Amino acid sequence: MRQTQPSLDLLIALDVLLEEGSVSAAAQRLHLSEPAMSRTLGRIRKAMGDPVLVRSGRQMVPTPRALAVREEVRALVEAARKVFTPPGRLDPATLVRRFTILASDAVITAMGVALLTEAATSAPGVRFHFIPEGYGDAQALRDGSADLEVTVISDPAPETRVEPIVTDRAVGVVRPGHPLLDGPVTAERLAAAEHVIATRRGRDEGPVDEILAGMGLTRRIAGSVPTFEASLLAVRQSDLVGMTPERLTRPLVEALGLATFPIPFALPEMTVSQAWHPRYDVDPAHVWLRELVREVLGRHV
């Protein structure tokens, strides 16, 4: 004879039977007919090798075996319900987690200090580890080496969740007293200046050069550096001209005492987004992280 295999349904039914001490009452609670509940009790008896409930006059009473396992059955059912119940709102004060955030240097400049400060006050068990953009970024969310990516995301992996947060635009940046500021900054004057480019991939050209080429102009490029911070430091100590996100790097531009100016032609806006792997869609800690990043960037950019 095939032995009845225990299941979560049988555990739930056993828990209700032991609590009610009645097949009819248990059937009502579980929205079953009495015959169906009786068949379920039969399956429980086979699985346990014990009568579980026996008739005593007009009532049914539990066997010693049923009494011995009652608390264990209750604990198992509660644990199972907890697994299948959506988590409630997270309390950051009780969270202990290390988040690795892959971000552009401009984004780290804009929100890094704010995130660290927020964690120190409201979520002391949280640690943020920032890693810069670089080669191999496409796999970072997939393989779990990064929990979140925050940057201008142009070609995400197919399964990646992407949420736009803020938009920004490029502005020109020079040291105070730079000759370019002596008059209106035209496309011709801008192209004639010597430029330093911030590019993590070492590219010498970009959208600016394509637009200038359409005007019959070519800008003079002294070289490139991998971060906006490096380009701003180079600009501060020379007559080089740089370009930087207006809002993201404003704190650093102001701290260095640099001057900015509008680019004399239209450039595409850049959209800063946060991206994550779908494994974290409903993870309460990750949901809290995304909310915090959204709030901090919205407040500081």
Q: Record the pTM.
A: 0.71
Asked if residue 194 lies in contact with residue 223, where contact means CB atoms within 8 angstroms, the answer is: no
Per-residue pLDDT at 138: 67
Query: pLDDT (tens digit, 9 = 90+) per residue, 24-39?
Result: 999 998 889 999 999 9
The pLDDT score that the predictor gives to residue 29 is: 87
pLDDT of residue 1: 41
Domains and CATH numbers, the chain: 8-83 (1.10.10.10), 94-161+274-300 (3.40.190.10), 170-268 (3.40.190.10)
Cα dihedral across residues 251, 256, 259, 260: positive or negative: negative
Q: What DSSP string runs through 170-236?
A: EEEEE-TT-GGGGS---HHHHHHSEEEEE-TT--S--HHHHHHHHTT---EEEEEESSHHHHHHHHH
Q: What is the pLDDT of residue 135?
A: 53
Nearest in space to 118 (alpha carbons), one of 105, 108, 128: 128
Strands 148-152 and 270-276: antiparallel
Q: How far is CA 67 from the centre of its chain?
A: 47
Ranges in the chain, pLDDT < 50:
1-2
Beta bridge partners of 163: 274
User: Mean of the per-residue pLDDT values for the chain?
Assistant: 90
